Amino acid sequence: MREVVEQPRRSARVSVIWSGVLYTPFFLAALAGAGVLIRSLADDFEGGTAVGVVIVGVVALLTGYQTIQALRDLFTKPVETRGVVERKWSRSDFFVARSHYVMVKRNVFHIEPFEFVEVE
């Protein structure tokens, strides 16, 4: 029974690390790009620069959210919850990958695709 419990924990941790490794560089690059564009906008206001600030700012917000979630999850322990699945859904995260979620006892959990298929 112990082997069954350890495998999902390792898988969850690897998934969180992978998410952090994937999104953090994009977030830092977008943040730096937004800083450069804002500085350029402050020096000499141009319409094209303003559009760039908005686009890069949105990318920074999206990747920043994913980075913060990954870092937050990295320092918490996996939780096993039992209960009735109130809702299940999937969506694309930043056009990169499809993510699957379930709601149990008013808590939302990110689950693997093979688990998503098995959940009723």
* SS3 of residue 21 by DSSP: helix
Q: Mean pLDDT over residues 78-96, rounded?
A: 82
- pLDDT given at position 59: 94
Give the global pTM.
0.65
Contacts of 73 (CB under 8 A, 6+ apart): 16, 19
Please check whether residue 86 is in contact with residue 46, taking contact to mean a CB–CB distance below 8 angstroms: no
Return the closest-CA partner of residue 69 out of 23, 103, 25. 23
pLDDT at 9 over 70: no
